[in-house]
Every structure is written in C-alpha cells, then in structure tokens.
C-alpha cells in the first residue's frame, strides 16, 4: 500500500472508532459485538470487518483514539499556570469536569483495563495507554514542583497510581448517583498535590 493509502486507511479506522465509541461506552466490552456496533451506527457489519480484524482490534483502537485526546487535555493548564495554586485548582477542576462530561468513556477504559488481566491480546495496548496517562500526570506534577522550586517526593508510577485511584473511586461514586463525587475529586486532587510536593 502507498503512504497515501495507508493514511486514508488509518483515517477511516479513526472515523469508525469515533462512531463506535458511544455504543461501546454504553454497553461495555462483554455485551458489545461488531454486529451490535454496526446496528447502532451508519456503518455496515461488513465495513467494520474490513477495517478491524475482530472486536478486540476495534475496541482497543477506540480506546486508544479516545485516550490520545485525553492526554493532551491538561497541556493548556501546564503551559499557562503561573502559580502552584493556579495549576492545582485548574487541574482539580478540569479532572472533575471530564469525569462528569464523559463518565461512560472512562468506564469503558476501566472495563478494558480489567479485561486485560484475562485477555492477553489487550495487554500491550492497555500498557501503552497507561504509560501515556502516567506521563500526563507526571507533566502536571513536575510543573507544580517547578513552580514551587522543589522536587516531587514520589515516583511517576506512584503519582499516577494515586490520582488514578482517586479518579476511579470518584467515577464509581458518580455512576452510583452521588452528587458530591465531582467536588470530592476536585478537592481531593488539590489536597493531594501539596502532600506529594511539599511547599518549601
């Protein structure tokens, strides 16, 4: 295939993934098939099969496509925050907003990550997405430390585990109808940053 054909094929896969995301997010991994996705989109079952070898291929591409957008969501805050307080507040607020605005998408990610413990075919993709999310968190923490002129007291992996845990816990509360979940997440994040990056 020529470079142009490869680019068009990749672009088409992204378009199909975008169309499939809502169905996947609503039904989850176990209850979704290519046929189910086709019935809930403008694309035929045959078209999905042409661009994706199976359900695993489609789902992992969908989540990679979505998370690629997520990891750049906080770059603006990192680039524009002038004080530690501004960065801390902006990060906590935006993290809570994305949980409220796209809860089913985040639920799909946690579903896929749990499935990777059983489905070996998911593991490499899940590991790559996890790494990109860890790097995203570390950019925020590093910038916060830089604004304070100190160094973070924990590793990148530990920092990701802390914030991912807070996010997942808050997401579960939100999906269960807890109206305070978003505020809990925002406040918890803002309280956590000074603990892992102490003020000098």
pLDDT at 148: 94
pLDDT at 46: 85
pTM: 0.82
Compute the half-sphere exposure of residue 82: CA atoms within 13 Å on the CB side of its CA.
Answer: 0
Report CA dihedral (172, 16, 47, 59) to the nearest 10 degrees: -30
Residue 124 has pLDDT above 60, yes or no: yes
CB contact at 8 A, 34 and 55 = yes
Residue 33 has pLDDT above 80, yes or no: no
CB contact at 8 A, 181 and 163 = no
Q: Which residues have C-beta within 8 Å of that of residue 47, sequence separation ≥ 6?
A: 16, 38
Q: Which two tokens stand for residue 171?
A: 């997401």
């Amino acid at each position: 295939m020529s470079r142009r054909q490869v680019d068009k094929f990749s672009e088409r896969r992204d378009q199909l993934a975008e169309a499939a995301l809502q169905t996947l997010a609503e039904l989850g991994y176990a209850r979704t098939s290519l046929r189910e996705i086709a019935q809930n989109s403008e694309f035929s079952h045959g078209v999905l099969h042409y661009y994706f070898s199976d359900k695993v291929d489609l789902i992992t591409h969908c989540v990679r496509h979505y998370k690629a957008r997520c990891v750049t969501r906080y770059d603006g805050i990192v680039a524009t925050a002038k004080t530690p307080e501004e960065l801390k507040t902006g990060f906590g607020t935006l993290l809570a907003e994305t949980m409220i605005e796209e809860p089913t998408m985040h639920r799909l990610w946690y579903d896929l990550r749990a499935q990777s413990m059983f489905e070996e075919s998911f593991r490499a993709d899940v590991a790559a997405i996890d790494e990109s999310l860890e790097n995203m968190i570390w950019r925020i923490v590093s910038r916060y430390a830089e604004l304070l002129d100190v160094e973070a007291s924990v590793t990148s992996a530990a920092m990701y585990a802390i914030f991912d845990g807070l996010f997942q816990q808050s997401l579960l509360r939100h999906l269960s109808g807890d109206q305070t979940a978003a505020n809990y997440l925002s406040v918890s994040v803002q309280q956590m940053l000074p603990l892992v990056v102490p003020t000098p």
